[in-house]
Amino acid sequence: MQIDITLSAADTTPDRVAHRSVAVIDVFRATSVMVTALEHGIRKIIPVTTVEEAEALRASYLSQGERVITGGERNAVKIAGFDRDNSPYSYMDDRALEGKTFIMSTTNGTRAVNASRTAAAIYIAAMLNYRAVCSRIIEDNRDVTLVCSGRENRFTLEDALCAGMMADELLQRTGNAELSDIAWSLRDLYLLYRNDMKRGLSRSRHYNDLLRLGFAGDIDYCLQCGVTDKVPVVDERFQITG
Amino acid sequence: MQIDITLSAADTTPDRVAHRSVAVIDVFRATSVMVTALEHGIRKIIPVTTVEEAEALRASYLSQGERVITGGERNAVKIAGFDRDNSPYSYMDDRALEGKTFIMSTTNGTRAVNASRTAAAIYIAAMLNYRAVCSRIIEDNRDVTLVCSGRENRFTLEDALCAGMMADELLQRTGNAELSDIAWSLRDLYLLYRNDMKRGLSRSRHYNDLLRLGFAGDIDYCLQCGVTDKVPVVDERFQITG
């Protein structure tokens, strides 16, 4: 099994993911939110790039009598006119969410999913469900690329650490994986920080920005490792279920 | 002083380098060769992308009575029809090199120099001269981006470690640099491997490929850290002197 890692949507060219099992990672907070929402009753998630697409899709679903919510963020805050923001804590009310379709728009995560379209299979990964996603990848028995969403097409540390953690898990469990240079490096970086993730992340710009905006609770939630076996799958229409 | 690092020519978009002091790194072996050639008498280096450009330029220089050599590699080996290959050991004969222009074509290094064209200043860096390049960068007193040439537009470990080493040097000497996420990560990776660079590099694909091709001597040479104060400068016509 070959293991590779891309660092942003821009880095995720078709050749890096074609025919592979792919896990898309956006720890703060898109993929953490996706996993949480599906755990709490959401039936299907449709990631879209623009606010306009989201509004149009919502109108279309409502006209067909479907139950739908809109959520996400721009620059970490709730989009005007959307139902919910991008905090995992906004997706834990099962009774209100049960069976609904969640139309989601975020700054980075949706681009990374789109960039992965040549993959054989696409899973949604966060620290929350990393072990379960690794199990699915091992079952697939294909080469794998872990796709970090990054931030504005640049490397962001929390996604890189999640990818490194998954590379380490896959290496340990298969015993014979072949890692690219970046996969080895991020795995070693993860091992360096594993006993104090927050200290390692204290240099991360995104981490610090979220703290400044008052999202310490979201951070703590998203840094929980392997607490759910939910493995969201992206289908050929780019809709996510799990 | 802000410190950023790009991981390949493809990663080096104009916004990452504009108005900054830039150091282009290609440890195995383009920038190591450039530093060595200038140390041993070469007057000027002209990096070109294609073999055809190199041949045309050579013909033009010769017709003007200029003394010129062609050198470089494709897939690590000497290009048919060129004077020399891409081993630093091929550029140590001062008497034959003195005053000549060196037309150079390599798979990755020349692309990274081109990608840096919006920079305020471009220097050529390798492990050989990393400390001297850092001194020049500190004198410039601008924000800096360390540009790794990478390999086929992907992260390669030896360039990343050189960049991490330079980020650490700049951080220590300025005492107040602001590092991007990738700069922090590569600096930490360098600190992890610094006492045994070869063990760290043993996972690098490029390192292993070069060993397999018989270039162990070149590797040892290129891993020498801070042994020369030669700082090659790329001018506005993309010609390199120092």
Which member of B7, B182, B203 has the closest CB to residue A184? B203
Task: Report the residue of A185, A189, A199 to disrupt the B interface, i.e. the one with the largest count of B CBs within 10 Å.
Answer: A185
- Of the candidates A2, A1, A242, the residue with the CA atom closest to the CA atom of residue A122: A242
Quick one: closest CA in B to A188, which residue? Answer: B189
Give B16 to chain A, closest Cα distance, Å: 10
At residue B108, the pLDDT reads 78
CA A222 to chain centre: 11
- At B185, which helix (H) or strand (E)? helix B181-193
Chain A residues in contact with B154 (beta carbon < 8 A): 180-182
**pLDDT the model gives residue B59:** 96
Q: Do A157 and B184 touch (CB under 8 A)?
A: yes
Determine the residue of chain B that is closest to A179 in CA distance.
B203
Query: How far is B82 from B101, CA to CA, in rounded Å?
Result: 14
Residue B237 has a CB neighbour count (10 Å cut-off) of: 7
- Contact list, B204 vs chain A (CB under 8 Å): 181
The token duo for B148 is: 């790794």
Contact A182 B154 (CB under 8 A): yes
**CA distances (Å), B207 to each of A70, A234, B10, B128, B227, in order?**
49, 37, 21, 17, 21
Q: Which residues contact B30 (CB under 8 A, 6 or more apart)?
A: B72, B86, B104, B106, B108, B109, B110, B149
Q: Please state, in angstroms and rounded to a whole number, the distance separating the CA atoms of residues B238 and A188.
A: 37
> Model pTM?
0.95
Tokens of B111: 């692309």
Structure confidence by residue, pLDDT tens digits, B172-205: 999 989 999 999 999 999 999 999 999 999 989 9
On chain B, the residues whose CB falls within 8 A of the CB of A157 are 181, 184-185
Residue whose token pair is 């990560």? B185
- Quick one: how far is CA B8 from the chain centroid? 12
Percent of chain A with pLDDT over 70: 100
At B125, which helix (H) or strand (E)? strand B121-125
In total, the C-beta contacts within 8 angstroms joining chain A to chain B are 57
Contact residues of A toward B, CB < 8 A: 7, 10-11, 154-157, 160, 179-182, 184-185, 188-189, 192, 203-206
Work out the average pLDDT over A93-114: 91
Residue type, B33: V
Task: Name the token pair of B168.
Answer: 């650490």
| Residue A62, C-beta contacts closer than 8 angstroms, at least 6 positions apart | A68
Which tens digit of pLDDT belongs to each residue from A192-218? 999 999 999 998 999 999 999 999 999
Q: A86 is written with which tokens? A: 């991008």
Q: What is the ipTM of this complex?
A: 0.93
> Per-residue pLDDT for B76 more than 90?
no
Closest-CA residue of A relative to B16 is A154
| Tens of pLDDT, residues B90-101 | 999 999 999 999
Q: What is the mean pLDDT of chain B?
A: 95
Give the CB-side neighbour count of residue B82, counting CA atoms within 13 A.
24
What DSSP state is assigned to residue A120? Answer: S
Contact (CB<8Å) B156/A189: no
- Element of type H or E holding A190: helix A181-193
Q: Which two tokens stand for residue A106?
A: 């975020």
Calculate mean pLDDT across residues B121-150: 98
